[in-house]
Amino acid sequence: MIDAHAHLTDPRLANDLDDVLVRAKDAGVVRILSCGEDLPSSIANVTLAERFDAVRCAVGVHPHRAASWDPSVAAALRDLARHERVVALGEIGLDLSGRSAPIEAQLRAFEGQLRLSLELDLPVVVHIRDAGDLAREVIDRVAGVCGMIHCFSEGPGEVAGWIARGFALSFAGTITYPRNAAVQAAARLCPGERLLTETDAPYLAPQRRRGRRNEPAYVAETLAAVASARGETSDLVEQAVAGAAEALFGPRWG
């Protein structure tokens, strides 16, 4: 199985990370993408990816930390992205929930990192919260960018537009929550070659573990919920996700 988005440098995982990764391996997880949120966490993720064979990483500035984006950070991320275990820029994006950085800072960081991804020929890992239309508007200004929409939370009406833009859709533990029919319908519509599963660990634990720390081993529960929504076996979805991840992240993923 693939966990296409986690935060392994988060303190809630870092204190017993060796045990977390043993449990992931025992559950059948063969690859985990650990995402940066700012420059320090991006550097830490590269170190983790060097240490653990199952880990690959993304480097980038999250919309919550967008005020930190400047030319020096861009230059540092450009250097980090040359590492053989870096497979994407992320977590980047837009968040209009009211709990993030000022929108002007978010827009600068988002578009700057989209353009950096083209320069580096890397996909992006995109966070979108209450900002789908604006995110699509910005992405449309940067022709040729591709990547994944992490923790896809929009409904089935937005699936085709993201697929046409060259993006994969990644489903998290939220698909297991009651009354989440829109996300389940989106999972049904997503083409298998663009389908990913993730935990967003330590956040968004699946329904039967809500209120507790999430970890990569629990991606099995998300995968089972995606399979159920699609009317497919977990084995079939697991194969589709593996193929989608390999196609998106390229040779460094293997």
Mean of pLDDT over the chain: 97
CA-nearest of 52, 29, 14, 13 to 198 is 29
* % the chain with pLDDT above 90: 98
CA-nearest of 167, 143, 86, 157 to 120 is 86
Measured CA to CA in angstroms, residue 104 lies from 18, 62, 64, 110 at distances of 39, 14, 12, 10
Give 40-94 pLDDT, tens digit per residue.
Answer: 999 999 999 999 999 999 999 999 999 999 999 999 999 999 999 999 999 999 9
Dist. CA 105–CA 116, nearest whole Å = 16
Residue 163's SS3 state is helix
Residue 14's SS3 state is helix
Tokens standing for 130?
Answer: 């209450």
**Domains in the chain, number:** 1
Range of the domain at 178: 2-253
The answer to whether the beta carbons of residues 184 and 39 sit under 8 Å apart is no
Dist. CA 237–CA 241, nearest whole Å = 6
Q: pLDDT band for position 108 (50/70/90)? A: very high
Give 237-247 pLDDT, tens digit per residue.
Answer: 999 999 999 99
DSSP 174: G
Q: What's 14's domain CATH number? A: 3.20.20.140
Give 136-181 pLDDT, tens digit per residue.
Answer: 999 999 999 999 999 999 999 999 999 999 999 999 999 999 989 9
What pTM value is reported for the model?
A: 0.97
Residue 79's SS3 state is helix
Give 173-217 pLDDT, tens digit per residue.
Answer: 999 999 899 999 999 999 999 999 999 999 999 999 999 999 999
Question: What pLDDT was estimated at residue 179?
Answer: 87
Dist. CA 110–CA 14, nearest whole Å = 27
Taking each helix axis as running N to C, give the angle between helix 71-80 and helix 39-51, from 0 to 180 degrees, rounded to the nearest 10.
10
Query: Which residues are CB-contacts of 56 (< 8 A; sequence separation ≥ 6)?
Result: 31, 32, 33, 34, 49, 85, 86, 87, 249, 252, 253
> Amino acid identity, residue 241?
V
